[in-house]
Amino acid sequence: MNILVTGALGQLGSEIRAAVRAMGPTEDHYIFSDVASVPGEDILPLDITNSEAVGIICRSEKVDVIVNCAAYTDVEKAESDLDFADLINHRAVGNLAKTAAQTGATLIHISTDYVFDGEGYKPYTEEDAPAPLSAYAVTKFAGEKAIQKSGCRYIIIRSAWLYSTHGRNFVKTMLSLTASRDSIRVVCDQIGTPTCATGLAALIVKIISERLTDRTGIYNYTDEGVASWYDFAHEINVYAGHGCNVQPCLSVDYPTKARRPHYSVLDKSKVKRTFGVDIPHWTQPLKNCIDILKNEE
Ligand SMILES: NC(=O)c1ccc[n+]([C@@H]2O[C@H](COP(=O)([O-])OP(=O)(O)OC[C@H]3O[C@@H](n4cnc5c(N)ncnc54)[C@H](OP(=O)(O)O)[C@@H]3O)[C@@H](O)[C@H]2O)c1
């Protein structure tokens, strides 16, 4: 099969590249792309907002699966940059889906726990009704709907609180803050699940390798367990061996432009049942990630 991965230089895209490299020789042909290439990396420049370029690549390379890791992911900035966020997270995704529908490709796309308003108190299933609170979340939900409307075969995976050894993320920010400050305050009233992009990448590669791409639908995938951002920061501080005093605070004490759900834990029964994945508790991959980052220092 021919697989086009967009946004391949981001956190998830980098983990998919690593997973494919680790697999060794395979009959599958992966084409990794991002909005701009970088020296030393085999990355095809492809802007997903350029629907003509997407169509040309999908047809000329006979792409069977598009894995869309490209996104506008700056939740705060999206509040004042709605049109650009919508272009990438919604309209370009709709065009990817239309191309997939025309060429017969499957679209694997990543969405977010932020499509929910967080007023719930038990893990959200794929059947629960989204009610996005922020501009970012509105554009991501619109992207989901555009895919479903396009008539293509699709797998939409809603994930959450992603981090990795690549790119910028909460783990790296907290490692730096807990190393340089005596004390920090982190919100304790937003509850979700920290998720290492390695596991999500492994799921996507498994779906492709085991030819499970016909299982159209929406799936939740995060690591197991439940945490607040405070718990997450606390564990990072402990694992890293930093002596920072990590204190809880409330969201009202830490005002942000974007509203975020208070509770966005996702129920993973469907993804486990359908694809037979074992999901680790969030603390284990976090420990591995910190070990790798510490070794790189
Ligand atoms: N990060 C999270 O906590 C989180 C949580 C839930 C769901 N998700 C979803 O998971 C997916 C992967 O997230 P991530 O954390 O890996 O994101 P990321 O690290 O921000 O990577 C996104 C990649 O897409 C690229 N990109 C941006 N605009 C593009 C365009 N027009 N054409 C092609 N590529 C473009 C970015 O390039 P530049 O960096 O140059 O812009 C970047 O390399 C996204 O769909 C995101 O919404 C993320």
For helices 283-296 and 197-209, angle between their N-to-C axes, nearest 10 degrees: 110
With a 6 Å cutoff on the Cβ, whether 222 touches ligand 1 is no
With a 6 Å cutoff on the Cβ, whether 8 touches ligand 1 is no
Atom number in ligand 1 closest to CA 113:
6
Lookup result for tokens 């591995």: 288
Task: Give the pair of three-digit tokens for residue 261.
Answer: 């759900």
Atom number in ligand 1 closest to CA 140:
47
pLDDT at 169: 97
For helices 229-240 and 170-180, angle between their N-to-C axes, nearest 10 degrees: 60
Lookup result for tokens 């490209």: 70
CB 282 within 8 A of CB 171: no
Q: In the chain, which residues have pLDDT < 70?
A: none
Say how many Å lie between the CA of residue 110 and the centre of ligand 1.
9
With a 6 Å cutoff on the Cβ, whether 159 touches ligand 1 is yes
- 3-state SS string for the chain: CEEEEECCCCHHHHHHHHHHHHHCCCCCEEEEEECCCCCCCCCEECCCCCHHHHHHHHHHCCCCEEEECCCCCCHHHHCCCHHHHHHHHHHHHHHHHHHHHHHCCEEEEEEEHHHCCCCCCCCECCCCCCCCCCHHHHHHHHHHHHHHHHCCEEEEEEECCEECCCCCCHHHHHHHHHHHCCEEEEECCCEECCEEHHHHHHHHHHHHHCCCCCCCEEEECCCECCEEHHHHHHHHHHHHCCCCEEEEECHHHCCCCCCCCCECCECCHHHHHHHCCCCCECHHHHHHHHHHHHHHC
Residue 113 CA, distance from chain mean position: 10
Q: Which of 35, 200, 289 to mutate to test the pocket of ligand 1 (most atoms within 8 A of CB)?
A: 35
pLDDT at 190: 97
Q: Which of 4, 17, 69 to mutate to test the pocket of ligand 1 (most atoms within 8 A of CB)?
A: 69
With a 6 Å cutoff on the Cβ, whether 110 touches ligand 1 is yes
Say how many Å lie between the CA of residue 71 and the centre of ligand 1.
4
Q: Catalytic annotation on 114?
A: no
What does the pLDDT look like over 187-237, one tens digit per residue?
Answer: 999 999 999 999 999 999 999 999 999 999 999 999 999 999 999 999 999
Domains of the chain and any CATH numbers = 2-168+197-223+265-280 (3.40.50.720)
Say how many Å lie between the CA of residue 243 and the centre of ligand 1.
32
- The pTM (predicted TM-score) of the whole model is 0.97
Q: Which of 6, 34, 144, 147 to mutate to test the pocket of ligand 1 (most atoms within 8 A of CB)?
A: 34
With a 6 Å cutoff on the Cβ, whether 34 touches ligand 1 is yes
With a 6 Å cutoff on the Cβ, whether 160 touches ligand 1 is yes
Say how many Å lie between the CA of residue 240 and the centre of ligand 1.
26
With a 6 Å cutoff on the Cβ, whether 18 touches ligand 1 is no
With a 6 Å cutoff on the Cβ, whether 135 touches ligand 1 is no
Alpha carbon distance 199, 164 (integer Å): 10
pLDDT at 134: 98
pLDDT at 60: 98
